[in-house]
Structure 1
Amino acid sequence: MAQLVEVTVGVIGRAHGVRGDVNVEPRTDEIERRFAAGSTMRTDQGESLTVADFRQPSGRLIVTFTEVADRTAAEKLRGRALVMKIAPDERPSGHDEYFDRQLVGLRVLGTDGRARGTISGVVHGPAQDLLVVDVDQDERMVPFVRALVPVVDVDAGSVQLADVPGLLDDEVAEA
């Protein structure tokens, strides 16, 4: 079996109520999958936690852990990251969705198939995600939308960009 990878799935916020529930700022799009009852995770400080239940009133994520009995215990966890170990080949449940760890390191190809750079990061913006592309040690941001990134082939280790002047260089199309 392949070595498991550790991913951050959330950050614990303030306590919610007196029974040990906590607000969690999610770091995953797959809340139902990661916070399902019985899921185990740990904090970045090493505490092991088991999800008893979660709910999402008004878009917030509130989680109950079996190990957290009261508000005092919940407050002690505030600010800690929640991490899980998952299989490195695990794929998101949605079609055309990718984990950041699957994208980082992919070669960026032009429409001619020529290597143009490497994805060095993903920025999650309010309107859309951005791919951070290292082009000869210069960072370029590319909106991660189908019109600009029509091909993503994780198995081949590459993405292909649309032919748009100035996307990865300082070229400006002449009018």
Structure 2
Amino acid sequence: MQLVVARIGRAHGIKGEVTVEVRTDEPELRLGPGAVLATEPATTGPLTIETGRVHSGRLLLRFEGVRDRTGAEALRNTLLIADVDPEELPEDPEEFYDHQLMDLDVVLADGTEIGRITEITHLPSQDLFIVERPDGTEVMIPFVEEIVSEIDLEEQRAVITPPPGLIDESEAVVVSSRDEEAAAAEAGSGSRERGSASDAVESGKDD
């Protein structure tokens, strides 16, 4: 199974280093020197990590064959993809890979059905479950311990204890028909742009 583990950002300095947006809870394992990673777009890779270091709280990587700022800038926005055994689990039992969480049923503590996880969005501050409700609308559920009280992989469900207003019909944070809304906005601007939210992104609960 292929999982996105990072996205390349801006060039750093003049010797080929790049900043990376880490999308794995195991950067030492996935993004260490010697790691060979596939890429999106595929024509950019594969890339082999030569060196890595942390600078001002950001991970910097240099790849074999990339020696200057021009080469580093050419890699900007490239997704780095690792081959992972689908049976492999994170070392921390409280962490999960995205592919484990996709399609889980979302229920309240009393068993009331809320919907099904169809997407996981990774934000700088937290992760969000995009949950499709039985009527086709969607709600965003922050993936934090205060709200997601249990992940039961055997039962294929996520138990939530939402605060008032999060999923209430009258106050729900609804993201229904996102494509239609985006299309309307794009029609007004005359352009269409949608980020590649990879269907295989690796992350843990503590992001």
TM-score between the two structures when normalised by the length of structure 2: 0.70
Q: Does 1:158 align with 2:157?
A: yes
Distance 1:163 1:62 in 2: 38
Gaps of at least 5 residues in structure 1 are none
Number of equivalences: 168
Displacement of 1:29:
3.0
Q: Does 1:68 align with 2:66?
A: yes
Aligned to 1:139: 138
* Change beyond 3 A, Cα 1:89–1:19: same
Distance 2:115 2:107 in 1: 7
Q: Does 1:42 align with 2:41?
A: no
Q: Within 5 Å, which residues of 2 pair with 1:125-136?
A: 125-136=123-134
SS at match of 2:56: helix
SS at match of 1:98: coil
More strand by share: 1
Q: Within 5 Å, which residues of 2 pair with 1:82-97?
A: 82-97=80-95
Between the two structures, name the one with larger relative contact order (CA 8 Å, sep ≥ 6): 2
Displacement of 1:7:
1.6
* Change beyond 3 A, Cα 1:53–1:109: same
Taking every aligned residue pair, what percent have the same amino acid on both sides? 39
* Change beyond 3 A, Cα 1:117–1:26: same
SS at match of 2:48: strand
SS at match of 2:61: strand
Q: Deviations over 1:2-40 (max 9, x none)?
A: xxx222222222322333222222222322221111111
Aligned amino acid, residue 9 of structure 1: V
* Segment of structure 1 superposing worse, 7-16 or 34-43: 7-16
Distance 2:83 2:155 in 1: 24
* 1:26 paired residue among 22, 25, 43: 22
Contact 1:130 1:142 in 2 (8 A): yes
* Segment of structure 1 superposing worse, 60-69 or 92-101: 92-101
Distance 2:143 2:20 in 1: 26
Displacement of 1:131:
1.9
TM-score between the two structures when normalised by the length of structure 1: 0.81
- Give the superposed CA RMSD: 2.4
Distance 1:61 1:163 in 2: 34
Aligned to 2:78: 80
* Segment of structure 1 superposing worse, 163-172 or 143-152: 163-172
